[in-house]
Amino acid sequence: MVTFETVMEIKILHKQGMSSRAIARELGLSRNTVKRYLQAKSEPPKYTPRPAVASLLDEYRDYIRQRIADAHPYKIPATVIAREIRDQGYRGGMTILRAFIRSLSVPQEQEPAVRFETEPGRQMQVDWGTMRNGRSPLHVFVAVPGYSRMLYIEFTDNMRYDTLETCHRNAFRFFGGVPREVLYDNMKTVVLQRDAYQIGQHRFHPSLWQFGKEIPDCVAPSGHRLKVRWNGWCSTPVTVFTSH
């Protein structure tokens, strides 16, 4: 029996100028066979669809869909669902189960960012950025008031506490005043130990307290106005600046 591939090869060799005798000799066929297929009308090959293979997971798909829908917006671990359907007789593996669960996952919509603003003179965020490490390090001190978003940037070769305090004083002179609150992002020279006394009660650098007493309206001696929290004000300016 001549296969479809052989028929196509006959036609290709013929288009390349090869005679029927030469094609027959090349492919090991009789001349009559070659002539017959050259004279026959070309028909595209017919492919039959591959029969669907039953999956061990098929009879449990509806149950899984319902379980995930009922739990939304919370996620059920694949191991939990596997245990439940195995109790019902499932004998398949975890790979196909995890793939099916992923296909049912609904992409979570990101909440729109809310711009946080304060009244003039209320808050200022301070952070460090590192431009270069090694033997000749280069760091950048960044201060951003919450109202104006004006940047104060100062380059240093270290991030020690005494340098931090000097940069604060320079920033206050630059802005022409002192904010009521200064926000830090868990800076090591500010926060010595998180939750040292209880949840939310951190241990701060002792010199910072003294500095707060010396600077009017900056940090209350009681520490209630010294805030350490995650905030994105400084992240973008530092990234943009160091990328140039």
Whether 168 shows a pLDDT value over 50: the answer reads yes
Do residues 191 and 203 touch, judged by C-beta distance below 8 A? yes
Q: Which amino acid is at 191?
A: V
Q: Which two tokens mark 141?
A: 């001190």
In percent, the amount of the chain with pLDDT more than 90 equals 19
Whether 152 shows a pLDDT value over 50: the answer reads yes
pLDDT class for 42, splitting at 50, 70, 90? low
Q: Is 89 left (phi over 0), alpha (psi -120 to 50) or beta?
A: left
**Mean pLDDT score, 124-144:** 89
Name the more confident of 239 and 49.
49
pLDDT class for 85, splitting at 50, 70, 90? very high
pLDDT class for 220, splitting at 50, 70, 90? very low
Confidence at residue 70, expressed as pLDDT on a 0 to 100 scale: 86
Going from N- to C-terminal start, the domains of the chain cover 4-39, 58-104, 123-242
Is this prediction's pTM over 0.85? no
Q: How many C-beta atoms lie closer than 10 Å to residue 143's C-beta?
A: 24
What is each CA distance from 139 to 78, 159, 192, in whole angstroms? 46, 7, 20
Q: What's the longest Cα–Cα distance across the chain?
A: 109
What pLDDT digit, counting tens, does each position of 45-61 carry?
555 555 655 678 899 99
CATH topology of domain 123-242: Nucleotidyltransferase; domain 5 (3.30.420)
pLDDT class for 219, splitting at 50, 70, 90? very low
How do 191-198 and 138-145 pair as beta strands?
unpaired
Name the more confident of 151 and 45.
151
Name the more confident of 90 and 48.
90
Q: Which amino acid is at 57?
A: L
